[in-house]
């Protein structure tokens, strides 16, 4: 059998395979639901939560516990160091290779996480955006260090007003990335996004977005923050304080505790800011997921409905 015939056979075979995407805002209950669904379909879980990629981060990212990972095999959890570089394009290529490999023995694979860009990378694909030189990256970092978040926001608004309108303006990494691309190529990041082609996948995709009533979700966020502190989140963050210059640590929860360590906040204020900023993050996630017009919105307790969506009852 020649290569083309083998590729066609694989396409035909995988057309009967289903990727089950379980996403939703932070603290909604994705981990528990994904494990139950993975068990139901005798399969494995691929993470699409960029914060959980790093082995040094556990409590602050609500990474699956040892027990949870023992219950169902997880991929792309704690597989990187905070010193490693990763982006959505790298993730797409590595995750797609893994998913295709799992489909050789599994009819279903579960993809779960709350990082919308990484979920998009699997649903539709990511076009390769040119990387930047260390010189350009250093220049943009210096801009951020000198002028702070307001300064890089102003720069982005001037260089790429289209991207400015849709980017998370509380996320300096996303803002700096857009400025880097513009400085390096002379093209706007929004222009790269606009010409993106949707890649065809040779398997079915069922996207389930888990959600809860707003107050119920916010109460869970607040309670989870309290539990993280009890579990040793402050101590975990302190152990990483000396590494705070790495991009992986410029993230929710750790940033607020680093500010406490730098005597900018009291501990109680840092904890309240974690709660507030996590609630805001959840809102932004929900806004992102609303663009998935083929998705099913369910409460995490509706496990039977999820099963019926994946395998419709006769």
User: 117 CB contacts (<8 Å, ≥6 apart)?
Assistant: 50, 88, 126
Residues 110 and 177 reside in one and the same domain: no
pLDDT value of residue 161: 94
Q: Judge whether 268 lies within some domain.
A: no
91 with 209, same domain: the answer is yes
| Residue 246 located in a structural domain | no
Q: What is the pLDDT of residue 314?
A: 57
pLDDT in tens, 27-79: 999 999 999 999 999 999 999 999 999 999 999 999 999 999 999 999 999 99
Number of domains comprising the chain: 2
pLDDT at 196: 64
Q: Which residues of 80-119 are buried (b: 16+ CB within 10 A; e: fewer)?
A: bebeeebbbeebbeebbeebbebbeebebbbbbbbbbebb
Domain assignment of residue 251, yes or no: no
CATH number of 104's domain: 3.40.50.300
139 and 109 within one domain: no
Specify whether 99 is located in the same domain as 151.
no
Does the residue 216 lie in any domain? yes
Looking at the DSSP bridge assignments, the partners of residue 74 are 45
Would residue 56 count as lying in a domain? yes
- Yes or no: say if 231 and 59 are a contact pair by the CB < 8 Å rule: yes
Looking at 150, 174, 194, the residue that finishes a domain is: 194
Q: Which residues in the chain show pLDDT less than 70? A: 1-14, 195-196, 313-314
Residue 14: what pLDDT? Answer: 60
Asked if residue 109 and residue 138 are part of one domain, the reply reads no
The single-letter DSSP state of residue 136 is H
In a domain, 253, yes or no: no
Q: Which of 169, 194, 219 is the last residue of a domain?
A: 194
Residue 207 and residue 108 share a domain: yes
pLDDT of residue 244: 93
68 with 152, same domain: the answer is no
Are residues 27 and 83 located together in one domain of the fold? yes
CATH number at residue 148: 1.10.20.140
Q: Which of 194, 212, 245 is the last residue of a domain?
A: 194
277 occurs within a structural domain: no
pLDDT for 191 equals 84
Residue 8 has a CB neighbour count (10 Å cut-off) of 12
| Residue 72 included in any domain | yes
99 and 44: one domain?
yes
Q: What is the number of alpha carbons within 13 Å of residue 63 lying toward its C-beta?
A: 21
What residues form DSSP beta bridges with 196? none
Same domain, 75 and 156: no
106 and 45 in a common domain: yes
Structural domain boundaries, residue 139: 134-194
pLDDT at 159: 95
Look at residue 132 in the predicted model and tell me its pLDDT: 84
Residues 179 and 162 in one domain: yes
pLDDT for 195 equals: 65
């Amino acid at each position: 059998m020649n290569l083309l015939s083998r590729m066609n056979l694989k396409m035909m075979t995988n057309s009967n395979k289903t990727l089950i995407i379980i996403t939703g805002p932070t603290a909604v209950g994705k981990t528990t639901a994904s494990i139950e669904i993975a068990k139901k379909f005798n399969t494995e879980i691929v993470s699409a939560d960029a914060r959980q990629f790093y082995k040094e981060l556990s409590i602050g990212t609500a990474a699956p516990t040892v027990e949870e990972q023992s219950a169902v095999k997880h991929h792309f959890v704690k597989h990187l160091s905070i010193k490693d570089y990763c982006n959505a394009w790298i993730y797409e290529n590595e995750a797609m290779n893994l998913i295709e490999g799992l489909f050789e023995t599994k009819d279903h694979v579960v993809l779960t996480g709350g990082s919308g860009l990484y979920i998009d990378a699997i649903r539709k694909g990511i076009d390769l955006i040119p990387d930047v030189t260390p010189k350009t990256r250093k220049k943009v970092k210096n801009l951020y260090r000198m002028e702070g978040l307001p300064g890089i926001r102003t720069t982005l608004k001037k260089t790429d007003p289209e991207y400015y309108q849709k980017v998370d303006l509380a996320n300096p990494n996303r803002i700096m990335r857009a400025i880097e691309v513009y400085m390096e190529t002379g093209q706007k990041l929004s222009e790269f996004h606009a010409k993106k082609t949707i890649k065809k996948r040779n398997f079915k995709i069922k996207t389930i977005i888990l959600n809860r009533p707003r107050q119920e979700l916010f109460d869970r966020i607040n309670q989870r923050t309290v539990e993280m502190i009890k579990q040793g989140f402050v101590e975990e963050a302190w152990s990483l304080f000396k590494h705070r210059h790495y991009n992986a640590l410029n993230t929710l929860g750790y940033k607020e505790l680093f500010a406490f360590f730098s005597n900018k906040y009291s501990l109680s204020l840092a904890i309240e800011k974690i709660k507030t900023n996590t609630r805001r993050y959840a809102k932004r996630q929900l806004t992102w997921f609303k663009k998935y017009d083929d998705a099913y919105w369910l409460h995490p307790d509706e496990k039977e409905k999820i099963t019926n969506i994946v395998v419709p009852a006769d």
